[in-house]
Structure 1
Amino acid sequence: MGKTPILMLHGAMSNGRVFYSQSGRGLACFLARAGFVVYVLDTAGRGLSTPRISRGFGLGQGEVIREQLPLVQRAILEWHPDAAGVHWCGHSWGGVLMASCLARFADIRPSVSSLLTFGSKRRIKIKSLQKWLMVDLFWNRLAPGLAKGKGYLAADRLRLGMDNESRASLSQSIDWVRGPWIDHDDDFDYGVAARDVRWPPAWFIAGQGDKVLGNPADVREMLAECGMQEAKFTLLARCNGFLHDYGHANMLTHIDAERDHFPQILDWYRAG
């Protein structure tokens, strides 16, 4: 039996390129060179996925949880019939969507070999001026107005992120960051469901320099909300022996990551 395949999912205002570059940098490329088959998902309308997000694009995060992730999981298992499962890996909001899918679908859990996340938080409770500017002012107040005018949030053109956001995804993520973990389409309560989940082996990674979007305290809060008492937690910080106090994106994109924490991730996957 070969190595267990890996599925990677990006976060909000992002796409799969957070995990790879055409020049061969990134976690996906690093693991592929080590012999793993890695699948990087661009959710509908983002990255290499077509059609692109534009005015009238109606899909939100609910479709990623209920449709796209289960569909891709089934496809990978069909392509790898000898595999015992698939490792799931999410950056930022991608980790929240993956955890939501696992909380909702008991039939998918046995085929998920592990859950590894980078800077993933379900709520942003940290208080600071930077958080007020980035989240309370821009994301919660200004971004919906920009999205309403154009029909979607043109984050790439505004140089706010790697990719765009639909109005549905934007409003749904705003509500989740501020309030209950409940599906906007059918009122499924992920928070209640998560309490009874037997989670796969999980590892949550946070960066010391990630002050807002994946603040270590908020990452730990998500672990507690999910009831992942046995999950591994790592803080990428100089005080813990790492080369840098990594931030939200550069924990995956920094040139030093391949000689710093990526080898530990490789060992994690090899052990699984």
Structure 2
Amino acid sequence: MVLSSHGNACVIRQSYFSNVQEEVFLLNIDCPDPSVQLAITRLATKSPETTQLGPPVVLLHGSFCNRSFWLSKNGHGLAMFLAQQGYEVWLPEMRGHGFSPKNQTYEQNTMSAYVRFDLPQIAHFIYQQNPQSAHWLGHSLGGISLSALLAEQRVPAHYFLTLTLLGTQVSYFNPCLRIPFMWRILKKYYLSRWLHNAENKEHEPKALLIEFLRWFSIAGGFKTKDLHWWKALKTVTIPLLSIAAAQDQGDPPHACFKLFKQFSSTKKIFITLGKEQGYLIDYNHTDMLIGRSAKKEVWPLLALWMAENETKSA
């Protein structure tokens, strides 16, 4: 049901969590597949004490996830925490995830399409609704997508106030993928494992997974036919915070740090979440954001990072 229209988007859901209003927009994407529509949730406080919202904060989920990674059905999570801090929080959901319907050519979806069509139009829509530079945070594949977006320079620089990468890397995977005959065998193995894993909350398109695996093959690299994303990251200069988890087996700290070093950001901070670094636990890939300790240690850390950069940019 359409509740209201906003140009090429419409509101399909409205609700309240205490003093925070939730609106879900369905955005029509201009791309070769006219059936592509993306859901974008907006959270903002509605109280007499809130006279002006802070800069927008955009949280982009990783693979096999949707907005529930940031916001539970009961209204808990990092998204709600940041909304309560006075930020306007935006939660895009990629094609076929969460409230975003599957497009007609879903299995052919790739990150290249996300970077070329979806993310620029998401960024433009958010800026239309709130014309302030935004904090962008991406977890895992969400962080990879944002890195590629910045490498492509497909959005105006003032759309980004800061970038935060969480458990994000593009260089570490099974080394056997670099052996030509093993590439064919392992590609089938990983595709079968990922596409049919009942534990995954969301299904990922086959073309996206093949594209991901190709980055780690002998002829791979973080790139497309048109642009070498890895090399282009040297042109990115916005403030960058990269956070890795000490017990992350899939995206280990050393690989996250390698991606972190590739940026030429004017301000760069790298953090590993582990006991050795003074944190309560050795975090893993997901509990770095949704675990009990994350609420005490990681969420305030993110809020502090954003607040410090707002002060310096004002």
Give yes or no for TM over 0.5.
yes
Q: Which amino acid aligns with 1:91?
A: H
Q: Which amino acid aligns with 1:176?
A: W
SS state at 1:76 partner: helix
User: Greater relative contact order: 1 or 2 (C-alpha under 8 angstroms, separation 6 or more)?
Assistant: 1
1:8 deviates by 1.1
- 8 Å CA contact 1:113, 1:201 repeated in 2: yes
Aligned residue runs from structure 1 range 224-235, under 5 A: 224-228=261-265, 230-235=267-272
Aligned equivalent of 2:70, options 8, 15, 19: 19
1:225 deviates by 3.0
Aligned residue runs from structure 1 range 175-254, under 5 A: 175-178=214-217, 179-183=220-224, 186-195=225-234, 197-211=235-249, 213-228=250-265, 230-254=267-291
Larger Rg: 2
RMSD over aligned Cα atoms:
2.6
Q: Which amino acid aligns with 2:206?
A: R
Q: Which amino acid aligns with 2:240?
A: A
- For 2:278 and 2:99, the matched residues in 1 are separated by 37
SS state at 1:235 partner: strand
SS state at 1:12 partner: coil
- For 1:163 and 1:257, the matched residues in 2 are separated by 23
Q: In structure 2, what is the equivalent of residue 5 of structure 1?
A: 56
Q: Which amino acid aligns with 1:202?
A: L
- For 1:270 and 1:225, the matched residues in 2 are separated by 25
- 8 Å CA contact 2:289, 2:295 repeated in 1: no
Q: Which amino acid aligns with 1:264?
A: L
Paired positions, count? 250
- 8 Å CA contact 2:116, 2:154 repeated in 1: no
Please list the CA deviations of residues 9-51 of structure 1 after superposition, one character each: whole Å capped at 9, or x if unmatched. 1112222222121223221111111111111111011122102
- 8 Å CA contact 1:73, 1:86 repeated in 2: no
**Normalised TM-score (structure 2):** 0.73
Please list the CA deviations of residues 178-232 of structure 1 after superposition, one character each: whole Å capped at 9, or x if unmatched. 431112xx4322123222x132101000111112x22001001111233458410
1:62 deviates by 1.1
Q: Which consecutive unaligned segments of at least 5 residues does structure 2 have?
A: 1-51, 176-182
Aligned equivalent of 1:90, options 115, 120, 138: 138
Aligned residue runs from structure 1 range 83-232, under 5 A: 83=132, 85-105=133-153, 107-124=155-172, 140-145=187-192, 153-155=195-197, 158-159=198-199, 161-178=200-217, 179-183=220-224, 186-195=225-234, 197-211=235-249, 213-228=250-265, 230-232=267-269
Distance verdict in 2 for CA 1:237–1:227, change over 3 Å = same
Distance verdict in 2 for CA 1:137–1:235, change over 3 Å = farther
- 8 Å CA contact 1:126, 1:218 repeated in 2: no
Aligned residue runs from structure 1 range 72-83, under 5 A: 72-81=122-131, 83=132
Q: Which amino acid aligns with 2:139?
A: H
Greater strand content? 2
Calculate percent identity across the aligned residue pairs.
24
